[in-house]
Amino acid sequence: MDNKALFEMEIHRKHGKKLIIQPHDASFHVVDKENDSISIERLNKEIGENEAIGSVFSIVWLLENTTRGTSNLTNPLLRYRLKFKYKVFEKDDVDGCLKEISFDRGYQLVSEFNFAIPTVEYEICAQLLSELPQTVVCRSLNNCEMVLSIRSIINKVETIIVGVDGDKSLWHIPTQLKQLTIKESGLGQITFTVVPQCVGFLPYPNITLYIFDKEHGNPEKIKEAIEPHSSVIGKQICIFSRTKGKQIHVLGQQISGANDNVSHNSSRHLKDENHSSSRSSLRDSAKQKLQKFFDK
């Protein structure tokens, strides 16, 4: 969770009127040969020599710190070298074949730069609950509560900014930014109201954490909502989200018949009394499930 990263090189395969670039090979490694703490593996076993002219494709490497023992250590800043080899071909206008230019044996692009593998600082687990009493399913165009349980990897007490956003055609999120203070235990929990806009299996809204920039504002003087105080939004924090890539099943709106309306009118007073306790029970149940999930 906290010692791996993907490095991606995006290639735009350009070409001239007759000359065409043909990718040949690519390598990525640490310049300091004595430092063997970083393991690098290219996931693209074959370079896209057959990619269409004018296309865009990527070469991806998996980086792993093999010596990192504890999660409260940061990954070292190292110097890396990227080398991309390619050839230039000439297109025959008669038969359309590619012919290698005889006087040129190949080219290479070499670039060196420093960076450190990002260190995960927070782990996040999310659960969606309906605001309707005695139900845990989400229905389209009805408010749902997105409960976020956040755990600090290094148990650091600080105030952070939590952001939730999504495709507007799928989710309506009235308040997208809130501040949260992480406790001494390293845990924090916050709730966002989200409204699904359609029926089906929808991806969870995106979750982002930011540092609270105290030079531009005092957390104690700013209310929970952050939108009017955008200057306090600091650097983005690296996180691990357990719900990343997962989906939530959203049902259609519930249609009640005449009998249901009569029953609803006769028991509305009782439901109003139990509405608050039902929501509290659902929240408590969600918190317990999320806590057990983190304790695994």
Q: What per-residue confidence (pLDDT) applies to 70?
A: 45
110 shares its domain with 126? no
Domain-embedded: residue 74: yes
Same domain? 220 vs 288: yes
Rounded mean pLDDT of the chain? 79
Q: What pTM value is reported for the model?
A: 0.64
Q: Which of 60, 84, 115 is the last residue of a domain?
A: 115
Q: pLDDT grade, residue 11 (50/70/90)? A: confident
Same domain, 67 and 110: yes
Could you tell me if 60 and 203 lie in one domain? no
Q: Is residue 157 part of a domain?
A: yes
Task: Specify the pLDDT at position 50.
Answer: 63
Collapsing DSSP to helix, strand or coil, 214 comes out as helix
For residue 190, give every residue at least 6 positions away whose Cβ sits within 8 Å of its Cβ, in sequence order, or none: 147, 148, 150, 162, 178, 180
- CATH number where 287 lies: 2.60.40.10
Q: From 83, 115, 147, give the residue that closes a domain.
A: 115
Q: Write the CA distances from 256 to 72, 115, 197, 262, 264, integer angstroms.
A: 54, 59, 20, 10, 9
Q: Give residue 213's pLDDT.
A: 87
On whether residue 107 sits in a domain, the answer given is: yes
Claim to verify: residue 143 and residue 290 sit in the same structural domain = yes
> Does the structure show a pLDDT above 80 at 114?
yes
How much is the pLDDT for 289? 57
245 and 126, same structural domain?
yes
Query: Is residue 290 in some structural domain?
Result: yes
**Does one domain contain both 158 and 287?**
yes
Do 94 and 127 have their domain in common? no
Is 182 a member of any domain? yes
147 in the same domain as 31: no
- Together in a domain, 82 and 137: no
Last residue of one domain, picked from the residues 96, 115, 134: 115
Q: What is the pLDDT of residue 72?
A: 46
Number of domains comprising the chain = 2
Instruction: Say yes or no: 37 and 108 in one domain.
Output: yes
* Per-residue model confidence as pLDDT tens digits over 36-87: 788 999 998 887 666 666 778 889 999 988 875 544 456 788 999 999 998 8
**Would 9 be classed as within a structural domain?**
yes
Report yes or no on 153 lying in a domain: yes
Domain holding 201, by residue range, is 122-254+282-295
For 162, counting Cβ atoms within 10 Å of its Cβ (0-12 exposed, 13-18 middle, 19+ buried), the class is buried
Reply yes or no on whether the pLDDT at 273 is more than 60: no
Residue 48: predicted pLDDT: 61
pLDDT of amino acid 104? 61
Structure tokens at 294: 């983190």
Residues 52 and 171 in one domain: no
Residue 259 lies in a domain: no
